[in-house]
């Protein structure tokens, strides 16, 4: 299919017509959370106006409609990821998904003497749950380091994969450096050694065609709000045999077959992991988001964002005293940078006055900041709905505020 008309696509996003501080909004914080097309907002609205009921509990028409909508979203997500629907646990986001793996799979499996391998570029959501597992089981954590361009040092990583390693947890795409990791190759190496792989796909799912089945990992986590969907939605894909072997993480309604005071029979996966009333409207919205992204074509999305990234990188590299962190050849549309003599938060605050929304701070990646030797960075992140004019306006605004801080 032909590439979409990107100017028309942009008009699908009501929020992008806003002004902030008297200036047209230039939203460059999509790695933090993405904006939503009208079709997603309307799907959530329509659910509450016309179909709202709880799932799996009522025989009445609304109950059936709500259940069909929720399970329909699971099927759409399965097609989007190229996996089976009954291997998907619907949850509140990547943070929940990774904690589910840590608590339900790792805690019962790991023991003293085992090791967990993480990478230097992980988000806290893929570090802290593993620290909890390590503390409780006596397992140790080893960290794969990066090269100067912000890529995983693969030789060093493979050297870490010694016999005591049980699990390798890593991000597909870095939220700070933009680095796209060669997860398929890495998972192949891990599998040869019998190591379970957990991939954080938060920053991959919004930007590229995903074929989770072909990656060869054991667990893959995504979060809905970064991929045009509502906040509080996410998905864990797990290999069926692993999922079937995992005890529940939360107990309650929906996750059981029969409850008696002398013993309860749990439901099958994935429902065993979905205790309580889920975020039904959220998943209706995420289903609409997947339809929307599918309509654009993820290959087109990737190509569009690559163009925006190249444009931004080129323009930014001409700003005096500006340093970009992360120069991987395979990179998502995320640019972390600092300008000599200017604090990251000051730059972001002044840019906001110009209508430009970027993120400044540590991006939930303290260990990476420690390695880079900086207190914080600025991060501009782009999505397909951004324009080349916005890239130019952002860089012009940056030049202007830099003068104020110099």
Q: Which structure tokens are listed for 237?
A: 């894909």
Q: Residues 43, 63, 77, 15: what is their CA dihedral angle, to the nearest 10 degrees?
A: 20
187 is catalytic: no
Q: Which helix (H) or strand (E) holds 268?
A: none
Q: Which of 10, 51, 120, 123 binds ligand PMP (CB under 6 A)?
A: 123
Q: Count how many residues are written for the chain.
A: 406
Paired residues of 170 in beta bridges: 199
Q: Which of 125, 275, 301, 308 binds ligand PMP (CB under 6 A)?
A: 125
Minimal distance, residue 116 CB to ligand PMP, in Å: 17
Distances (CA, A) of 232 to 95, 248, 285, 341: 10, 20, 11, 38
Binding mask 65-104 for ligand PMP (x = CB under 6 A): ----------------------------xxx---------
Which 3 state secondary structure label does DSSP give 68? helix
Closer of 119 and 175 to ligand PMP (Cβ): 175
Residues 220-259 that bind ligand PMP (CB under 6 A): 223, 225
Q: Which of 203, 313, 362, 386 binds ligand PMP (CB under 6 A)?
A: 203
Question: Which listed residue (91, 187, 217, 364) is catalytic?
Answer: 364
Cα four-point dihedral sign 339, 341, 344, 349: negative
Please identify, among the stretches 138-146, 178-186, 198-206, 243-251, the one whose residues bind ligand PMP according to the rule CB under 6 A.
198-206
B/e letters for 106-134, b = 16+ CB within 10 Å, e = fewer, are: bbebbeeebbbbbbbbbbebbbbbbeebb
Closer of 30 and 137 to ligand PMP (Cβ): 30
Minimal distance, residue 59 CB to ligand PMP, in Å: 34
Q: Is 200 in the site for ligand PMP (CB under 6 A)?
A: yes
Q: Is 336 in the site for ligand PMP (CB under 6 A)?
A: no
Q: Is 29 in the site for ligand PMP (CB under 6 A)?
A: no
Q: Which structure tokens are listed for 86?
A: 């009954």
Minimal distance, residue 171 CB to ligand PMP, in Å: 5
Q: Which of 30, 202, 336, 381 binds ligand PMP (CB under 6 A)?
A: 202
Tokens 């130019």 belong to which residue? 392
Q: What is the CA angle 234-235-236, rounded to 5?
A: 135
Which 3 state secondary structure label does DSSP give 382? coil
Distances (CA, A) of 47 to 51, 65, 357: 5, 9, 31
Please identify, among the stretches 109-117, 119-127, 158-166, 249-257, the one whose residues bind ligand PMP according to the rule CB under 6 A.
119-127
Minimal distance, residue 138 CB to ligand PMP, in Å: 26
Tokens 């009921």 belong to which residue? 53
Chain residues in the site for ligand PMP (CB under 6 A): 93-95, 123, 125-126, 171, 175, 200, 202-203, 223, 225, 364
- Which amino acids are annotated catalytic? 364
């Amino acid at each position: 299919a032909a590439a979409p008309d990107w100017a028309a696509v942009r008009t699908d996003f009501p929020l992008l017509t806003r002004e902030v501080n008297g200036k047209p909004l230039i939203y460059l914080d999509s790695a933090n959370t993405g904006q939503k097309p009208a079709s997603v907002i309307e799907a959530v609205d329509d659910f509450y106006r016309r179909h709202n009921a709880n799932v799996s509990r009522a025989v009445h028409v609304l109950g059936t409609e709500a259940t069909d909508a929720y399970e329909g979203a699971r099927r759409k997500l399965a097609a989007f990821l190229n996996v089976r629907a009954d291997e998907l646990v619907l949850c509140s986001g990547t943070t929940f998904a990774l904690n589910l793996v840590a608590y339900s799979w790792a805690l019962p499996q790991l023991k003293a003497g085992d090791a967990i391998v993480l990478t230097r570029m992980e988000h806290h959501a893929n570090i802290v749950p593993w620290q909890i597992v390590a503390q409780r089981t006596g397992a140790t954590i080893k960290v794969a380091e990066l090269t100067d361009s912000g890529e995983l040092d693969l030789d060093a990583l493979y050297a870490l994969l010694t016999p005591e390693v049980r699990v390798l947890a890593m991000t597909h795409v870095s939220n700070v450096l933009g680095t796209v990791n060669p997860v398929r190759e890495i998972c192949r190496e891990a599998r040869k050694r019998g190591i379970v792989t957990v991939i954080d796909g938060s920053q991959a799912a919004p930007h590229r065609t995903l074929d989770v089945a072909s990656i060869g990992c054991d667990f893959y986590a995504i979060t809905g709000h970064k991929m045009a969907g509502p906040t509080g939605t996410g998905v864990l894909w797990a290999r069926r045999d692993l999922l079937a072997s995992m005890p529940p993480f939360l107990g309650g309604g929906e996750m059981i077959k029969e409850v008696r005071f002398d013993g309860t029979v749990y439901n099958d996966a994935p429902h065993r992991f979905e205790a309580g009333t889920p975020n039904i409207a959220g998943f209706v919205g995420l289903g609409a988001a997947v339809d929307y992204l599918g309509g654009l074509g993820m290959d087109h999305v990737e190509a569009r964002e690559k163009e925006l990234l190249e444009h931004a990188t080129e323009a930014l590299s001409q700003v005096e005293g500006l340093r970009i962190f992360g120069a991987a050849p395979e990179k998502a549309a995320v640019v972390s940078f600092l300008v000599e003599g200017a604090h990251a938060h000051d730059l972001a605050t002044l840019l906001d006055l110009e209508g430009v929304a970027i993120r400044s701070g540590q991006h939930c990646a303290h260990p990476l900041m420690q390695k880079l030797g900086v207190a914080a960075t600025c991060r501009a992140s782009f999505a397909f709905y951004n324009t080349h004019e916005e890239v130019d306006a952002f860089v012009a605004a940056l030049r202007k505020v830099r003068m104020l801080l110099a």
